[in-house]
């Protein structure tokens, strides 16, 4: 592992946030393809195979290790490649990364969080060079079979800064030892490695069929820190798709016109 670069940052905006990272000479930040927003002159871009946390080694074992690490990223729906932004100038330079949907950016100092955080597979935005981005398989059978969004998750390891993005409002909750929380799997942004994570059946025929909340929810047991989002992007996308592909029954009637006017859609 290469040493994590120590980067400074500031988060700008309210509902559509972006993070501005300050790089000293020769410092590097890494980001998912498509997260880049803008940068100052003096910063170079380089496409990396994997996350760039492995030192360059010669020989077949080094190449094989890179292939395995990059392949793991595909399992969580991430890109095989990442982009590195390095300050090659003599003074401080800034590069910015934007969240892909309305919500909040969560800064994580991994050194203060046990050097390891587990997060949703699409939550990672950017990090300091040296932070390792891999996959986290859940050991328990229930989690493996029924976890849905939470089955295969990402893990961020290192002692540098990393940034997650979440949809809606974000709640940070500190779980005490033995404290249990039940939560929708899609509402989990991430948690520290000390938190015990599993999937539990909702129970009850009426709850399962008519509850509208899914058959399973996640159980998180402390101690540790949990980050929770109010609006999973999958739920938001589902609502948009539903409204975009269905025709309102009252359209074309007087009531439909009034309803659309009240909704702000006009006549």
pLDDT single digits (tens) 86-144: 999 999 999 999 988 889 999 999 999 999 999 988 899 999 998 988 888 665 545 44
Decide if 264 is inside a domain: no
Tell if the pTM clears 0.85, that is, is over it.
no
| Region label for 21, one of left (φ > 0), alpha (ψ between -120 and 50) or beta (otherwise) | beta
Classify burial at 178, counting beta carbons within 10 Å of its beta carbon; exposed 0-12, middle 13-18, buried 19 or more.
Answer: exposed
61 pLDDT above the threshold of 60: no
Decide if 201 is inside a domain: yes
Decide if 3 is inside a domain: no
122/23: higher pLDDT:
23
225 pLDDT above the threshold of 90: yes
Residue ranges making up the domain that contains 145? 8-233
pLDDT > 90: percent of the chain? 45
Flag the least confident range among 33-42, 149-158, 191-200: 149-158
Decide if 169 is inside a domain: yes
> Average pLDDT for residues 166-182, to the nearest whole number?
94
Decide if 67 is inside a domain: yes
Q: What pLDDT score was predicted for residue 81? A: 80
User: HEC profile for 145-208?
Assistant: HHCHHHCEEEEEECCCEEEEEEECCEEEEEECCCCEEEECHHHEEEEECCCEEEEEECCCHHHH
> Average pLDDT for residues 61-80, to the nearest whole number?
56
The CA distance from 118 to 134, in Å, is 10
Considering its fold, how many domains does the chain have in total? 1
Q: What pLDDT score was predicted for residue 51? A: 67
58 pLDDT above the threshold of 50: no
Q: What pLDDT score was predicted for residue 78? A: 59
Decide if 52 is inside a domain: yes
Residues 6+ apart with CB under 8 A from 236: 101, 167
Q: What is the CATH number of the domain that holds 23?
A: 3.60.160.10
């Amino acid at each position: 592992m290469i040493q994590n670069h120590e980067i400074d940052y500031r988060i700008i905006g309210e509902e559509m946030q972006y993070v501005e990272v300050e790089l000293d000479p020769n410092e590097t930040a890494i980001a998912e393809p498509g997260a880049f927003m803008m940068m100052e002159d003096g910063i170079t871009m380089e496409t990396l195979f994997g996350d760039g946390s492995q030192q360059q080694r010669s020989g077949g074992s080094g190449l094989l290790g890179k292939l395995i690490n990059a392949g793991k990223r595909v399992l969580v729906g991430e890109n095989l490649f990442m982009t590195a932004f390095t300050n090659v100038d003599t003074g401080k330079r800034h590069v910015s990364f934007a969240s892909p949907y309305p919500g909040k950016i969560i800064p994580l100092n991994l050194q203060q969080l046990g050097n390891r955080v587990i997060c949703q597979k699409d939550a990672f935005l950017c990090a300091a060079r040296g932070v390792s981005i891999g996959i986290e398989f859940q050991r328990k059978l229930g989690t493996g079979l029924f976890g849905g969004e939470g089955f295969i998750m990402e893990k961020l390891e290192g002692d540098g800064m990393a940034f997650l993005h979440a949809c809606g409002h974000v709640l940070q909750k500190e779980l005490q030892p033995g404290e249990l929380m039940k939560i929708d799997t899609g509402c989990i942004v991430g948690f520290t490695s000390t938190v015990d994570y599993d999937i539990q059946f909702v129970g009850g025929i009426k709850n399962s069929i008519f509850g509208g909340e899914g058959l399973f929810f996640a159980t998180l047991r402390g101690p540790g820190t949990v980050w929770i989002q109010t609006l999973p992007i999958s739920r938001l996308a589902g609502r948009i798709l539903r409204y975009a592909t269905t025709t309102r029954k009252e359209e074309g009637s007087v009531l439909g016109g009034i309803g659309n006017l009240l909704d702000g859609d006009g006549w």
